[in-house]
Amino acid sequence: DIQMTQSPSTLSASVGDRVTITCRASQSISGWLAWYQQKPGEAPNLLIYKASSLESGVPSRFSGSGSGTEFTLTISSMQPDDFATYYCQQYSSYPNTFGQGTKLEIK
Amino acid sequence: EVQLVESGGGLVQPGRSLRLSCAVSGFNFGDYAMSWVRQAPGKGLEWVGLIRSQPYGGTTEYAASVKGRFSFSRDDSKSIAFLQMNSLKTEDTAVYYCSRGLYSSSSVGRYWGQGTLVTVSS
């Protein structure tokens, strides 16, 4: 199975900060990577697919990049609504796998 | 409006069985694969598996942790996906989500249900 490793596990940030989360795959997944945001008590919300394609309705401050084994999710200017947990998911092969999550906290 | 509603969760003893349902509306259910993802209390997301649509053979994929114990099925006439869970273990305790993908065979969750909690405990 492909292992997905996110870093950091927790990140403290302030409103207006630029934030970057990294997701590494244990083997190449080409660009078959998605990013989700999840708030407590809610289902995940798709942000990015195919590494860099922005899901409809998602603010443009979210962007994704990378290919192969290393990927990043960037929030260009943190907003109060962005404090949440973020997960990457590889869908290059089955079983799909998620990263362990990155919790964005208010500094 | 696309809606997915899970049901069937609850408290069950180890070794017993439970069947979850995911009723959908707002899209042509028969055209899409349906995925299942779970989340143990206070933990991250875990991909459970998916069932493809009939045009793709209705075949299934499972995570190693549930293979042989869990099975997926679907009733396209009623727009419902099912997750049959057998030989349940305490580590299966989680909120179970169903999701619909980006496109017909996709496992990327564009739409999600609200989740249903399964608690496995004696």
pLDDT of residue B62: 98
Low-confidence stretches of chain A (pLDDT beneath 70): none
The mean per-residue pLDDT over the stretch B57-62 comes to: 97
Chain-centroid distance, C-alpha A42? 16
Residue pair A104/A13 in contact by the 8 Å Cβ criterion = yes
Inter-chain contact A43–B44, Cβ cutoff 8 Å? no
Digit-coded pLDDT (tens) for B79-106: 999 999 999 999 999 999 999 999 999 9
- Subunit contact B45:A94, Cβ cutoff 8 A: no
Q: How far is A98 from chain B (nearest CA, A)?
A: 6
- Distance from A86 to chain B by nearest Cα, in Å? 10
pLDDT of residue B74: 98
- Nearest-CA distance B33 → chain A (Å): 14
Give the pairing type, strands B34-39 and B45-51. Answer: antiparallel
**Phi first, then psi: what are they for A18, rounded to 5°?**
-95, 130
User: pLDDT tier at B56 (50, 70, 90 boundaries)?
Assistant: very high
pLDDT of residue A47: 98
Point out the residue among A55, A87, A94 whose CB comes nearest to the CB of B45: A87
- What letter does residue B67 receive in the DSSP assignment? B
User: Positive or negative, the Cα torsion across A38, B39, B36, A28?
Assistant: positive
Tell me, what's the pLDDT at A58? 98
The answer, for B47 touching chain A at a CB cutoff of 8 Å, is: yes
| pLDDT at residue B26, rounded to an integer | 98
- Does B106 sit within 8 Å of A101, measured CB to CB? no
Instruction: Give how far Cα A107 sits from Cα of A26, A29, B8, B28, Å.
Output: 31, 33, 40, 45
Residue B3: Cβ within 10 Å count = 12
Question: Would you say B120 and B88 are in contact if contact means Cβ atoms under 8 Å apart?
Answer: yes
Confidence category of residue B1, pLDDT binned at 50, 70, 90: very high
